[in-house]
């Protein structure tokens, strides 16, 4: 499969990415980053919202 086909499939299905990172110095947490990302095509998102509404 080509890269274009892979990206097309991911956008049609949708992808959820979740991650966390903590930056510490000398055992003291300085920065915490929590990240949740939904990557999908607008059309796919609209279809999912229609299914939830009905």
pLDDT tens track for 3-54: 999 989 988 888 999 999 999 999 999 999 999 999 999 998 898 889 999 8
pLDDT value at residue 24: 96
Residue 21 neighbours by CB under 8 Å, 6+ apart: 32, 33, 35
Question: What pLDDT, on the 0 to 100 scale, is given for residue 48?
Answer: 87
CB 36 within 8 A of CB 17: yes
Give residue 45's pLDDT: 86
Domain boundaries, the chain: 3-53
**What is residue 27's predicted lDDT score, i.e. its pLDDT?**
92
In the structure, what pLDDT confidence band is assigned to residue 1 with cuts at 50, 70 and 90? confident
- β-partners of residue 22 are 32
């Amino acid at each position: 499969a080509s890269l274009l086909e892979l990206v097309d499939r991911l956008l049609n299905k949708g992808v959820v990415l979740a991650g966390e990172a903590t930056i510490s110095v000398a055992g003291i947490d300085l920065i915490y980053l929590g990240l949740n990302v939904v990557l999908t095509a607008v059309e796919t998102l609209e279809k999912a919202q229609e299914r939830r509404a009905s």
